[in-house]
Amino acid sequence: MNSDLPKVMHTAFGKPLVEWVVDAVSAVGIKRIILVVGHQEEIIRAHFQSRSNIEFVRQSPQLGTGHAVDQARPLLLNVDRASELLVLCGDGPLITPATIATLLNAHRTANAAATLATSVIPDAAGYGRISRDSKGEFSAIVEQKDCTPAQLMNREINPSYYCFELGALLDTLAQVDNRNAAGEYYITDVFHILKKAGRTVHVVDAVPPEEVLSVNTPEQLAEVSGLLRMKFGSTQRSTHSIESHL
């Protein structure tokens, strides 16, 4: 992003990227929110200091998405292991409460250990691909760096919308290794491990293509800001007017 500002604190149509995600989660009734922070974490902490339901854990060094989620383990040890835990990215401000609600409902209906929402998009470059078996059932999530040429042709992608049974997630994170092209601990490996262990892993094609774009460059930030502007109207927005759409 060519900036010392944490990526998730860059502003899209009037508020930081991560605040769009926090507000979408709050709109479906989630009361407890944990943010995993790292670089320039004090900026994020200061921004949310008035919101008492938000907690923080620090990831340092940054060893991948699985490692990031595992940093929250100490805050979750006294929580009922049957509880539901949503895991979302802070740089995807196009996420909507409706999609989160669909994910939660699908997870509950399937009585799943883990559920992921997928999307089929025209250009899948940069995203992990959904691998399915001969029956069309979920097999694994393959990160782009690890994809074969054939897998790169797959347009069903992982936009990183997850719901887990807490106990299943915590137990499985301990089994994740970093034997991959990036040398990182991927949370996406949890799904394959659970599937192999015979646990229910549910996949729901619930994410509209227009919600998929996350922000990694100034150009993508401008694109996302434009999409939010078209969705929510006047650039002279008020907090009330935005929240009324959530």
Say if CB 68 and CB 60 are below 8 A apart: no
In this prediction, residue 234 carries a pLDDT of 53
pTM over 0.85, yes/no: yes
- Could you give the domains of the chain? 7-233 (3.90.550.10)
Distance CA(168)–CA(115), nearest Å, equals: 12
Distance CA(221)–CA(233), nearest Å, equals: 18
Distance CA(216)–CA(212), nearest Å, equals: 13
Q: How does pLDDT run across 34-61, given as a tens digit for each residue?
A: 999 998 999 999 999 999 999 999 999 9
Which range (60-69, 87-96, 159-168, 205-214) has the least confidence?
205-214
Question: Does residue 162 register a pLDDT over 60?
Answer: yes
Over range 211-221, report the average pLDDT: 90
Question: Does residue 242 register a pLDDT over 70?
Answer: no
Residue with tokens 């996420």: 95
Distance CA(200)–CA(174), nearest Å, equals: 19
